[in-house]
Structures are given as C-alpha cells and as structure tokens.
Structure 1
Amino acid sequence: MASTRASPACGNCRSRRIKCNLLRPRCSQCARAGLGCTGYRSQSDLLFRDQTKSTIRKLHASSTRVVAPNKHATSWSPVVTRPTFNVEELAKKVFSDNFAILGDGCKHWMDSGAENPSSATISLTSVGLAALAVVHKDPDMMDLARRKYDFAIRVLSKAIISHKGSGIEQFIAGSFILFIFEMITCDNHSSSNAWQKHVHGAAAFFGYFCSTNGLPVSPVKEIIEICYTTTLACLISGKKVPYFLLELPGRFGASSDTSESDEDPLLSAMRLFAIMSTLVNIRALANQSFSPRNQLVVLAIKKDQALHNWASSLPASWTYHKLPMGQQYIYQDVWYAQMWNYYRLARILVNRIIIDNCDIVSPAMLPGDIFKLQHAQSYAAISFLSQEIYSSLPFMFNLEQMAATSLPLSAALFFTITLLQSLLELTDKAALIQDWSSPASNILGERFTFTKSIVMQNLR
C-alpha cells in the first residue's frame, strides 16, 4: 500500500497542483478554467498506487544494496536488508479479496504458508501478481508473476513425480487456481485454452485423493466447483468426463433416486452435475459416431425431461426473480446464480444434441412427428436460455464489485469466461459475441468496460 496518501483529485488538478473540490461530473477548478474534467481515479487505483514499478525497484534494490566500507574496519561485505514492503503479501490479499473460488481454505493456506509456502499459496500469489500487473499495465510486475507461476508449475510437477499423498488437497487447489492465471495472461490463440490443462490436472489430483483417502464427509462448494469446471473443459475440448467424477454424485448420496424433499442445496447441485456430465459424454459419443443417431435423440429428450424435473423439485431457497425494469435476474447469492446458469447450459447442450442428430438422421428413421416438433422447439429453447444466461451476468458482476477494494478481475469474470467458451461450442459465435454483454453493459455502464475487454480477449 502506498506510503503517502494518494490524492483523489481529478487529473487536471493533480497536473496543475491545485486543490480540487471533487465535484461531479466536473470540479469547480475545471469549470472556471473551461477545461473538460478528466475524471477521478478509481478506488483500486488509489489503493494500489505505488505497488507496481516502484515496488519492483525497491525489492531489487533491497536484495543487492551494499554498505560503504568502513575505513576503520579491516574488511567489509555486502549487507542484504529486508524489503520494506512485501509485494507478495499484497498479491495474496488481492487474490483473497477477488478470487475466493475455493472458499476459506485459501486464507488458511496463506496464514500457514509464510515459512514453507505450499503449491496452493504459490499459485494464488502468482494470480494476485498477474491481476495487479494487468490492471496497472506493469510489465515488471507481470514478469514477477510469471516467475512465480513457473515456480508453482515446478512444485506441482515434483508432487506428481514423487507420488506424495500428503498435501494432496493443496495440489488440487494449486492446479485449479492456475487456470485463473492462464485466463488473466491470455494474449494469443495458442494460450487461450491453456487453462483447461490446469483444470484437468486438478481433476486428476482429486481422483487420486478420492482413491487413496476416500471422500470428504459431505459435498462442499469447492469440490462442486472443480467438478463443473472440469466438465466444461471436457465439453470445450471434446473429451469425456473422467469416470471418477461421474460416480461422485452417487457416492455423495445425490443419485437420481435421492429424496427431493428438503434436499440440501449442495446435493441438488451434485444431482445437476450428474445430468450435465452425462450430456457431455453423450455429445462426445455423437461426435465420434459411436451410437445410432436416433437413439441419441431419444436419450437426449429423456435427459431434458430430467432437467425439467430437477428444476421443478428445487426448494424455495433457489428461487430467483426478474426485475420489472431492465434485463436482470436477482438471486439469493452468486453461487445460486452460477448453479442456475449451469442448468441453462445443460439444457442448451441437450437441445444442441437433438438438433445435430436430427439433422443427420434421415426422415424415414424418425419414429414420428414428435422429432420434427422437438427439432423446432430446440432452436427456440437455445435462444431463450442463452438470453437468460446473459441476463444473470449483471447481478453476478454487480454483487462482486460492491467492495471498495475490489478489482475489475474477479471470480465472476472467470466463471463467465468458462461459461461463454462452452456456449461457443453450442451456439452461433457471432450472435454470442454481439449479445452476451448487452445486459451487463446497460446496467453497469463504464465500470463493466474493463471486465468486458478481458472476456472478449478469451472468446477466440
């Protein structure tokens, strides 16, 4: 954090070194001078004002500074001093404030990793550094973030080679967190989907953890997040969902015959995951031509009915509503908004399977007019469900940007990127790129501009 108080004055008053009365939209000084007021810095700019290039210079200088030789001493040696400011501690705070995807475990790793940092701590530090570098356009900070990222990769690689069972939870989290780094630093086609490698790596660690230590006592949001993100990565890359993830809902007691009355929200989320992961595998089979097309259509229609049953059996806590004015849905919290969007994505996927296979099957093979009717309904459903997803984004971004210290980079951003990349596989790309940001831009205005640019950068 800056050692001196950052001036909140507008750009003109700071450059003219005069007092600013901070009036909006134009201060009095600019009005008297007939100048167009350049506006005020955001809260994050004030908070992180001196924590980029100047911090790097301090760190480099502190590690190499030497004292002048004492003329009365017989010899002298370099003196290494501790830096007055720890940029990595700031990076950890940035992560905990903005990327708390894995819950309270992140804070525990940060508190316990001061002397012997874990793979999770190293990974989240690299993400925090990269976030600061992107926001402040600082190449030195990004270089430091990449070196920390490389260190995290080496730690994870060593863990894989050594087959250590201890600390596997942190290896899972470390690999999963690195997918955020890949999204932040994505700047070309070759790296745009590199995050999938880390998600698959986290899933592999998780499978190993389950085989050696068994499952946790109950399903938790962190596990659910890894399951869903891995499934979306499989959808994007055309792979099948790993078997050990497919069997998780049943092992947690969330199979299709689970009692649906007063069901725990986490178990409901696992039931939805069971349907979605099956649909991803059906699409993979369809792409590989392993099954008769008409059978895939029948199976997809059954899964669509299962999705309708899932939605109709949810407890009242899942309820959401649309605001009377504007394109925005309101939920109990961000987690419920994410789960509803996973549901919408699953329904889009099932309708895409129906359309693709009906287009291939000859009319003579269709068992009746029901297929032709379903084909038309599927097109309408995809369009409607896509718009519902777009209308849920303003709530997610608005809720996460309420904190004064929040950066424009957040957990909602990375959920959105993953979701939209999945939609690119199922819907018209041109329509998606044109439509997805309209509700959020209309409601959030200019503060959504930076976030939108990061998302668009990842929609290759």
Structure 2
Amino acid sequence: MLVPHVDVIMASPKGDEAPIDPYSVEETKDDDACQAFLRDNEQLYQNTTKLESFLGRSSEFAGIFFAGGHGLNRGRPSKDYLPCPKRKLRCDLKARTCGQCQRAGLECHGYRKPQDLVFRDQTDVARHKVLAHVGVPILNLDIDTRCRDTFFALYVTGISRSCTSLVPLYTKAPATGHLACSVDAVSLAFAGVQFESQEAMSLASKRYVTAIQNLGQALRHPRALKSDQTLQSMLLLDLYEKICGRDRQQPRSWMSAGDFDLSSPIACELARNVVTTLTISCGAVRAPVPDSVMLLRRRLDGHVLDTKWGFMNILLDIVNLRADMHNGRWLNHTAEAAERAKGLDRRLVSLEQKLPEDWKPVPCSTAIRHQPLLLDGHHDAYPNHFVTQLWNTLRAMRLEMTKIIKNHDPSSEAAASETINSIARKMCRAVPQFMLPGSRPENAGPFSPMEKLQCRSLLSCLYLAAQLSADEHLREWTCACMDYMTERGEMRVARDIAAIIRLDCMSIIIVPCPFPGTGFST
C-alpha cells in the first residue's frame, strides 16, 4: 500500500536477496495488493541495500519498518527452514505436521495458526521484565568520600560521644584546609582498620603527611594558634596516630600546652578532649601528665560536671602513679605505692556507686545454643554501648590498681587475687550483649559495621581480663568469644588477640581508652 505513495528501500545485513516467507505468500494469495507487490517489486527484495549504510541516517526517512521473517535474518533461510520448500514440494499446510513430511518420515513443525502470527504490543511486558532486574542505583564515589562518610556515620555521629564539635567546624572549614585534610587522613585510617583495607591505610598515610604540612603552615599565623579548627585538626591527627599504632612517644609539642579559650561550648569540648587525649598519650608511654594539662583540667572543673569528667580526674592520678613506678620512684617505697593504689581504687569504687541506677547491669539469658558463650550461664545487659564502655573502663582501672596492690603488699595478695577474678568476670559478662543473636534486636545476622566497631572496642577489656585473671576457664572463654567474633564478624584482630592469649604472651601493654568507644587506644 505504501509503494505508490513513497519511495521504499529494503535493507538486509548482507545486502543480497531477502527471502520471502512461503507461508505468507500462501496466506496472501487472495490479496491483490500483496500479489501485485510480489510481482511488480522483485527488485526491492532481490537487491536489498546493506543495513550498515543506514547507520546515522534515520532522520532522512519518514518511517522505518522491521519486516518479520522466519530465518536467521542473514540474507538466506536457515537450515531448519521448512522441509517442503527445500524439497520443492507444495505443502498441504496441515496444522501439526504436513502430509508430505509425515509420509517421508521427516520432522515438521507444521502450519502455524493465524493467532500465532498476530503482532502483539509487548511494550509493557518487556518494560516490567527489565525493571524487575534493575538493581539499586549506586553512586560511583571515590574512596576518600566513602571512607569519610563511613567515619562520620560510625564514629563521629555513632559510637563516639566526644566529636560533637567536629561537624559544625568541618562544615565551615575550607575544602582544602588542614581540617579537611585531617578528616580525610583519620577517615581513611579508620576505614582501613575497620575493613582491613591496605589501600585505605596507604592513602591515609599520604593524607596524614598533607595534613601535617597544612597544619604547620597554619601555625605560622598567631591567630591560628587559638583557632578551634586548628585544635580540632590536632585532635584528629592524634586520633590518626592512635588508630595506626604509630610509635609511642611523648605528646607532640603542639599538643602539650596552650592558652585555651573556654568562652564557648565548642571551645570547652575541645579543651576537654585535649585533656583526655594527652592523658591517654601519657599513659601509653608511662610519662607523667604535664603541669599545663593539670592546670587546664582545673580550669575546666567549673565548666564540666559529669561522670566522665569525674573519672578523668581519677585517671590523671592513675597515669602519674604508673609513671612514677615506671621511673623507679617506688623501688624502695613499695608500701607507699600500694597505699596510693588503694586510695585510687576506693575513689573508683565510690564513682561506680554514684552511677545512675538505670546504668547498672541487668543479668540476662539467651538461646540455649549460645550457652557456651555465656560466662556463669548469663550475660549482663546495659542500656547502650557508651554505658558498657564506661563500666568496663572503670573496671580496667580497678584491675590495674588491684594488680599494683597485689604486687606491692604481700598481706593483700589473696584478697587482691579474688578481687581481680571478680572484676574480670564482670568485664567479660558485658561482651555477649553485643555479639550474640537474640541479645539485641540488631544482632540478627552477620556483624554489621557498627557491631564490628562495638565488638572491637571490647577486645582490650577482654584481653586485660584474660591477662590478669588466674582463672583458666575465663581465659578459655575469652578465646571462644574472640573465635566467634572472627567467624561471625570476620574480625582478624580478634583472631590475633586470641592467639596471643593462647600463647600466654604477657608483654603487651593495654591502655584502656576512656569513653571514646573505639578501643583504638590499645
């Protein structure tokens, strides 16, 4: 019908003769227009144009039609094309199998029913099939962006209680400034440890160097010395060094002192974090806390009043006691060292007794299949991870003090050993809540990134309990817990610590991290 009104061009892959379906010819034998087309336009289908010559020329044509065929669309019929035309026989067109093929014993697909030849609109069906296999769109973000988002989601706004100042400072900081570089360095290091990625750790080292260089340039300006962004960068770089386990050393000079402005909540929080960070750093190297930090602590006493700060005041004295013992001050005064340890232990017990009632542990049981991972047949439940870390940090310091009492006061050895075993069991019973299915709604399957981080923060307390306790069953139990973390959470660090416990290696020094909730200060 189109031929009298338009110029028709037929195309095929090879540009040779296009085969005509004999069934179609038979069906249209009574259609005068179709028969006229076959008779008068043989040149169209006998001499087709190569299909590739039309690439990019669709705008030149008013319409493009795809003619149906029954071959492989390669310019000639397929080998399975109808047996009758191949044998040059006139087919009787029976539906299931034609008479000629039946008599010859040949396989025949038969004549198709008219409804099988009807064109149907399959657009919606095809669309639904395609959409059913379309996955969730994924943004192709670079590794810096992914690690930074992970750091803010899991650490800054997740497990940590001391990073509330970072978000407002970071949003106002220049994109290429020292604070942004410090965030990138610590984010990559955090993700490298969390996901055991060597690529992230390697990039973190490069970003750390860049951050140090940018911070050094900023410190040349007097105004930068009192900037909140500068102080926040210093704290982040210190966190990077703790995460990466860099060689322990005296606190850097740019972290040791300073005239802090306490006129704003952000400034108070940063100053508080400086006291915490420097105290932990001094404890790691068994050095006394600098006088400037002690002075800053006293200045903050009027601005900060909470349980965490009360513990920090005790921790400062504990760090100084350990530094004195490390430097040999108590070699000839062991009784005095024991008395100081007893005094600090009494202060820790008093602080425990002042904790809110709803922060205290509640004994719980879980599924029977997890009984081997329940010390004493149950575990202790706490309101959240922060409260758990607070309790276990207090207990860790009590273990340290009781160990000093045991070593320097022979008359207290039996009682001290009993106290150590009791405290160690309490520390261990706080762990199953964060790893066993059923103990919390979020413990449903393999460890989530947050579960891995929470369990990682408990490893130092588990190790300390196994190291100081004389209870062999408790040591075996801690190894079983770490084996479970290794299998369920794919935590290689848990496997390594379990191996150390089994080897009875006593040379590793543990410095519990007071409340940041990461365990990275070990």
Q: Name the TM-score class by shorter chain.
A: 0.5 to 0.7
Residue among 157, 161, 172 paired with 1:112: 172
**Counterpart-to-counterpart distance in 2, 1:168 and 1:272:** 28
8 Å contact from structure 1 (residues 397, 413) kept in 2: yes
Q: Which amino acid aligns with 2:421?
A: S
Map 1:243-392 to 2 at 5 A. Answer: 243-247=291-295, 250-253=298-301, 267-291=306-330, 292-325=333-366, 326-327=374-375, 328-358=379-409, 372=411, 374-392=412-430
SS at match of 1:99: helix
TM-score by length of 2: 0.54
Counterpart check, 1:449 vs 2:491:
yes
Q: Which range is displaced more, 415-424 or 337-346? A: 415-424
Residue among 440, 449, 462 paired with 1:407: 449
SS at match of 1:239: coil
**Counterpart-to-counterpart distance in 2, 1:180 and 1:401:** 28
Structure 2 CA distance for partners of 1:286 and 1:86, relative to 1, 3 Å: closer
Higher relative contact order (CA 8 A, sep 6+): 1
**Counterpart-to-counterpart distance in 1, 2:469 and 2:457:** 18
| Bigger radius of gyration | 2
Structure 2 CA distance for partners of 1:395 and 1:307, relative to 1, 3 Å: same
TM-score by length of 1: 0.60
Structure 2 CA distance for partners of 1:177 and 1:391, relative to 1, 3 Å: farther
Residue among 205, 209, 218 paired with 1:146: 205
Counterpart check, 1:129 vs 2:188:
yes
8 Å contact from structure 2 (residues 311, 351) kept in 1: yes
TM-superposed CA distance for 1:278, in Å, is 0.8
Structure 2 CA distance for partners of 1:197 and 1:317, relative to 1, 3 Å: farther
**Counterpart-to-counterpart distance in 1, 2:497 and 2:227:** 31
TM-superposed CA distance for 1:151, in Å, is 0.9
Gaps of 5+ in 2: 1-134, 367-373, 501-506, 509-522
TM-superposed CA distance for 1:204, in Å, is 5.6
Q: Which amino acid aligns with 2:173?
A: G
**Counterpart-to-counterpart distance in 2, 1:431 and 1:222:** 43
Structure 2 CA distance for partners of 1:442 and 1:422, relative to 1, 3 Å: closer
- Percent identity, aligned pairs only, is 15
Structure 2 CA distance for partners of 1:240 and 1:322, relative to 1, 3 Å: farther
* CA offsets 1:429-448 (integer angstroms, 9 cap, x no match): x9998654544655896125
8 Å contact from structure 2 (residues 360, 382) kept in 1: yes
Structure 2 CA distance for partners of 1:419 and 1:140, relative to 1, 3 Å: same
Structure 2 CA distance for partners of 1:271 and 1:145, relative to 1, 3 Å: closer
Residue among 231, 235, 254 paired with 2:279: 231
Q: Number of matched residues?
A: 348
* CA offsets 1:239-278 (integer angstroms, 9 cap, x no match): 11233444555444479xxxxxxxx9x5222222212221
TM-superposed CA distance for 1:237, in Å, is 1.6
* CA offsets 1:177-227 (integer angstroms, 9 cap, x no match): 345544655xxxxxx453x559x34x963741xx24247559977765654
Counterpart check, 1:95 vs 2:134:
no
TM-superposed CA distance for 1:49, in Å, is 8.8
8 Å contact from structure 2 (residues 289, 319) kept in 1: yes
Let me know the Cα RMSD of the aligned residues. Answer: 4.6
SS at match of 1:322: strand
Q: Which amino acid aligns with 2:261?
A: N
Structure 2 CA distance for partners of 1:96 and 1:383, relative to 1, 3 Å: same
Q: Report the structure, 1 or 2, having the larger helix content.
A: 1
8 Å contact from structure 2 (residues 402, 420) kept in 1: yes
TM-superposed CA distance for 1:229, in Å, is 4.9
8 Å contact from structure 1 (residues 236, 421) kept in 2: no
